[in-house]
Amino acid sequence: MDDACDAVIVGAGFSGLYALQKLRQLGLRTRAIELGDGVGGTWLWNRYPGARCDIESIEYSYSFEEIQQEWAWTDSMPGQLEIEAYLNFVADRLDLRRDIQFNTRVTALTFDESAGTWAVETDRGDRLHAPFIVAATGLLSVPVDPVIPGMDAFGGVSVLSSRYPREGVDFSGRRVALIGTGSTGVQATPVLARQAEHLYVLQRSAAYTFPTTNRPFEEGELEALKAQYPEIRAAQRTAMAGAARTSAFTVMSQAPMRPALKSATREEQLRAIDELGVAGALFWSDVTSDMEASELARRLYGEAIARIVKNPETAASLVPAYPFGCKRPIIDDGYFETFNRDNVTLVDLRKGAIQEITPRGIQTAQGLFEVDVIFYATGFDAMTGALTRIDVRGRNGDLLRDVWTRDGPGSYLGLQVAGFPNLFMVAGPGSPGALANVVSSLELQIDWIADCVAHMREGAYRTIEPRPDAQTAWVDHMSALVEGSVVLHPTCNSWWIGSNVPGKKRTFMSYAGGIPEYRRQCEEAATAGYAGFNIE
């Protein structure tokens, strides 16, 4: 196919579907290109057992009036199957599939300076041309493939969480090794433990987790919430994380409700974990700002774990070594309790790392663990991974991956990169998505992009891109927001800063000023005639 259109969207997950609807409403001839065989993005690929959202369903959803009133959620925090079904409903309800090309990988995006358009190439031989590109490539869409000697020699079944087979995997009667204890590993552990003959959880870095508040909606509850949608959406707009109700981020926001941990008596500390369990160790006003308080909280968190996990050695191994707040908190469903099962063994890799995969299992410095299945939950190349795997060439033939490797993952307003005109990003570096309800963030960004495109077409402008000085100022502003915070502490290694990807420049990639301030900054730039941008 060699075709011209007004806009090309890369991806058909939450962002891609919303962008397609918004641009079609402007009358643009728009095509979305999707690698998967259906809509859903992250929620299409990550079908692993236990996969669930950490934000309430009524907020982790589009604000289209007809959609939010017609769809019926069953759980307060939806699982993967329900979210995938929801996105398929949206695609059908808004008749979006006719403009989506599935099973297609975008391999190259090349800007033609003389024409002011982008050439889009795919692995199927397509070549499209469009003035506008929307990279709706996802916040966590590119997995970090494990690199362990001997992986190909393993004689059993190997499963990667982010490429989990649609038909599922039967773990019953099998010895299973789970490598990775980030959000995916924490969610999968209780489910795998109930199915496997024996589960070995191989942990390199223990994580802070909180018990989920998920539950099925009671009769009439969802209808009552739908009637409150105007108030709920209004509250989302003013909420720091774009989520006004229970979420991973509102869990953290409860900390200022308690006094300083450093000034609390021992009796007050113990009462906190009596009342709130592991969460009680961390809900103190000084925990994320004072490293002495952070260490007190870490130890208190360990005491709370020891009340749940019966084996003292296992309980001690489950205590994180990094300060709370340096990584996205995890919502779990019986994670710590799972280690009390007779068929579950925690393998603390701090006591002896993985050396190789053998035909029979996993050889560590602690010994050989013979297994039938290896389940890899090894994380993502967040925020930049998808775009750096496409040959994106802007002005002067500059390759985006080279620019980000050399200078770090910079942008202006998390929307565009200097030197790459008319290329818009959603949930990319410089945006608040990783620190917020990503649906609130993406709707804000895509609404801004649609208004910008309309402005460009009405004014007969050809290109828009950030001024380098504006981009530098934005990157500096982002850095200033987290300067001295736990996210940059030497012991903090997270996908927020890209430290989980070899060779990736260590940079805090998310906007930490909150959704309301981010909206203000974006709107201010637009109303000032797109200040900070060059428009021609």
**DSSP labels, 73-125:** --BSS-BHHHHHHHHHHHHHHTT-GGGEE-S--EEEEEEETTTTEEEEEETTS
- Which helix (H) or strand (E) segment holds residue 438: the answer is helix 438-458
Task: Give the pLDDT score at 43.
Answer: 97
Q: Which of 446, 495, 460, 534 is nearest to 139 (CA)?
A: 495
DSSP state for residue 441 in the 8-state scheme: H
Nearest to 326 by CA among 453, 447, 525, 482: 482
The DSSP secondary-structure symbol of 143 reads B
Name residue, tokens 């001839």: 29
Q: Is 363 helix (H, G, I), strand (E, B) or coil?
A: strand
CA atoms within 13 A on the CB side of 332: 24
Instruction: Give the pLDDT of residue 247.
Output: 67
Q: What is the pLDDT along the chain (536 residues), one digit of tens a residue?
A: 458 899 999 999 999 999 999 999 999 999 999 999 999 999 999 999 999 999 999 999 999 999 999 999 999 999 999 999 999 999 999 999 999 999 999 999 999 999 999 999 999 999 999 999 999 999 999 999 999 999 999 999 999 999 999 999 999 999 999 999 999 999 999 999 999 999 999 999 999 999 998 999 999 999 999 999 999 999 999 999 999 887 666 655 544 457 899 999 999 999 999 999 999 999 898 888 888 999 999 999 999 999 999 999 999 999 999 999 888 889 999 999 999 999 999 999 999 999 999 999 999 999 999 999 999 999 999 999 999 999 999 999 999 999 999 999 999 999 999 999 999 999 999 999 899 999 999 999 999 999 999 999 999 999 999 999 999 999 999 999 999 888 888 888 888 888 888 888 888 899 999 999 999 999 999 999 999 999 99
Q: Which domains, from first to last, does the chain contain?
A: 2-39+96-142+381-535 (3.50.50.60), 160-221+244-376 (no CATH)
What's the rounded Cα separation, in Å, for the pair 511 and 57?
A: 24
Torsion-angle region of 471 (φ positive above 0: left; ψ -120 to 50: alpha; else: beta): alpha
Amino acid identity for residue 504 in this structure: K
The string of DSSP codes covering 183-211 is: HHHHHHHHHHHHHBSEEEEEESS---EEE
Q: pTM for the full model?
A: 0.95
**Residue 178 to residue 200: CA distance in whole angstroms:** 6
Task: Judge contact between 106 and 33, C-beta under 8 A.
Answer: yes
pLDDT of residue 256: 46
Q: What is the pLDDT of residue 251?
A: 57
Q: Is 217 helix (H, G, I), strand (E, B) or coil?
A: coil
What is the token pair recorded at 105?
């990988």
Residue 447: count other Cβ atoms within 10 Å of its Cβ.
Answer: 15
Burial per residue of 412-424, b for 16 or more beta-carbon CB atoms within 10 angstroms, e otherwise: bbbbbbbbbbbbb
> Do residues 351 and 235 make contact, with C-beta atoms less than 8 angstroms apart?
no
The packing angle between helices 438-458 and 14-25, to 10°, is 30
Q: Residue 147: how many CA atoms within 13 Å on its side-chain side?
A: 4
- In the sheet that holds 391-393, the strands lie side by side as 2-4, 127-130, 117-122, 106-112, 391-393
Which has the closest alpha carbon to 431: 448, 414, 410, 449? 414
Query: Are 327 and 494 a contacting pair, CB within 8 Å?
Result: yes
Neighbour-count burial for 484-510, b at 16+ CB within 10 Å, e otherwise = ebbbbeeebbbbbbbebbeebbebbbb
Return the biggest CA–CA distance within the chain.
Answer: 72
Q: Give exposure, 258-296, as e/b (b: 16+ Cβ within 10 Å).
A: beebeebeeeebeebbeebbbbbbbbbbbbbebeebbeb
- Nearest Cα to 275, choosing from 290, 258, 262, 287? 258
Amino acid sitting at position 303: E
